Structure 1
Amino acid sequence: MNKTIETILDHRSIRSFQDKPLTREQIETIITTAQAASTSSFIQAYSIIGVSDQNKKDQLAEVVGNQPYVAKNGHFLVFCADLNRHAQIAEMENIDVIPSIESTEKFMVSVIDAALAAQNAAIAAESMGLGICYIGGIRNNLEAVQSLLKTPDYVVPLFGMAIGYPAKVNDKKPRLPLEHVYMENEYQQDTATFIKQLEDYNQVISAYYRERTDGKREDTWTEQIGQMLEKKSRMYMKDFVQNRKMDLR
């Protein structure tokens, strides 16, 4: 155990921030640590857009589902899969890269690169005493986000990250048991064991909610996730991505 591991294990989403902006030095440190993340074949297929304009923050907060912590935080970042600079490489080097950057493989590379960079940024921010919250609601209306952030073809905004000084710290949610997530040599073949692990985890989550809400809530994890997945959401995503000339081949 060390301070880095303690920081990672102490993670929780923060949804209430103090009215205190991050300094330029803090922002640049967080972005620099994001850039230090691993990147497939050194392709660096992502960009990070910092949103400091309050009007833009307010509009983003509305887009993502009226989440106040998107508008009120120390700084807001939007992580994008970005192959636009690689399209520019074709012009610079007088070569044809379009079949490659329009492939599903390169789209996956760009998404993975962005996610790795984001997690570095999250850990860096938390190590500085700040709190973070990932915002997947960015994808509720990517047309609006694209218009607001003026992202070109070959760029897809993936998720946001609210960062700031915590005004309220929530309880940490218990994760799935290690033996359910970590498997050695092959995927878990015993369905009965798989289901038993989920049932045990359901009891843990139900107890967590019951204690946190004084008995007002005690739903299980499989119940919660099943109901969420039963509802179709963001089904326009494939068309949006392909309209941005990504994931076409």
Structure 2
Amino acid sequence: MNNTIETMLNHRSIRQYTDQPIEKEQLDTIIQAGLAASSSSMLQVVSIVRVTDKNKRKLLAEYAGNQVYVEKATEFLVFCIDYQRHAAINPEVQADFTELTLIGAVDSGIMAQNCLLAAESMGLGGVYIGGLRNKIEQVDELLELPQNTSVLFGMCLGYPAQDPEVKPRLPAHVIMHENQYQPLNIDDIKDYDQVVHDYYASRSNNQKQSNWSEQVTGQLSKESRPHVLPYLNKKGLTKR
């Protein structure tokens, strides 16, 4: 196993950071690693907003559901779908197809993961902030995003001031199918539920009595940010 794979397998979400700054050269390298990511048809439809303004950070923390680490992290990056530069090249660009929104979301995820992996390889840690979509229009306004451009998620970065355990994932044989989709073996989920239950009960911080099935069914049995679709439509995205 090489160092890259070890870094990937040891990923944890880091929400507490030391006061040690991230050097400019480090941040530049992190962004260059992101830019090196795959891009569908070389469209390059991602923009990153680095937020250094303290007042904006505080507001973003509130918008994300009072996640204080958004304000406290050494660096905070917001990843956006961006077709505005393409429209600036040619006003005939049709950015309102759902397929193009999917491309923007996929490319942003790939770029962000490159950035986070690069950061973790330097001894940094981070966490994704999907909570920005709780108040997506307010975030958009705060960052002054133009038409054809939309908020996706944020990323905190910094030197870790905590050492959480690695969260167990579903086993590979549940995720990996060969040639065709395979029916779910519910016993595999029961086994995984026990693993997750034991993880939550034994971890050093924020212990709780829960398993994966309870967690995901609770999440998926309620509305999931229904305001996002009209927001995307308003920004000229996902109309057809």
Letter of the 1:163 counterpart: L
Aligned pair count? Answer: 240
The match for 2:209 is: 218
Q: Distance in 1 between matches of 2:128 and 2:204?
A: 23
1:123 aligns with 2:117: yes
Indicate the larger mover: 223-232 or 117-126. 223-232
Q: Distance in 2 between matches of 1:165 and 1:146?
A: 28
1:60 aligns with 2:60: yes
1:134 aligns with 2:135: no
- Partner SS, residue 156 of structure 1: strand
TM-score of the two chains, using structure 1 as the length reference: 0.93
Of 92, 96, 101, the residue aligned with 1:102 is: 96
The match for 2:41 is: 41
- Alpha-carbon deviation of 1:57? 0.7
Q: Distance in 2 between matches of 1:14 and 1:90?
A: 41
- Residues 135-214 of structure 1 aligned to structure 2 (within 5 Å): 135-189=129-183, 191=184, 193=185, 195-212=186-203
- Alpha-carbon deviation of 1:178? 0.5
Letter of the 1:198 counterpart: I
Letter of the 1:13 counterpart: S
Q: Distance in 1 between matches of 2:218 and 2:235?
A: 31
Contact 1:21/1:73 (<8 A) preserved: no
Q: Distance in 2 between matches of 1:229 and 1:146?
A: 26
Contact 2:164/2:204 (<8 A) preserved: no
Of 218, 221, 232, the residue aligned with 2:223 is: 232
- Alpha-carbon deviation of 1:214? 9.6
TM-score of the two chains, using structure 2 as the length reference: 0.96
1:127 to 1:216, Cα distance in 2 relative to 1, 3 A:
closer
Q: Which runs of 5 or more residues in structure 2 are unaligned?
A: none
Q: Distance in 2 between matches of 1:148 and 1:23?
A: 26
The match for 1:19 is: 19
Contact 1:34/1:121 (<8 A) preserved: yes
1:214 to 1:97, Cα distance in 2 relative to 1, 3 A:
closer
- Alpha-carbon deviation of 1:218? 2.6
- Alpha-carbon deviation of 1:53? 1.2
The match for 1:78 is: 78
Q: Distance in 2 between matches of 1:160 and 1:20?
A: 21
Q: Distance in 2 between matches of 1:217 and 1:88?
A: 51
- Partner SS, residue 113 of structure 2: helix
Letter of the 1:120 counterpart: N
Q: Which runs of 5 or more residues in structure 1 are unaligned?
A: none
1:36 to 1:221, Cα distance in 2 relative to 1, 3 A:
same
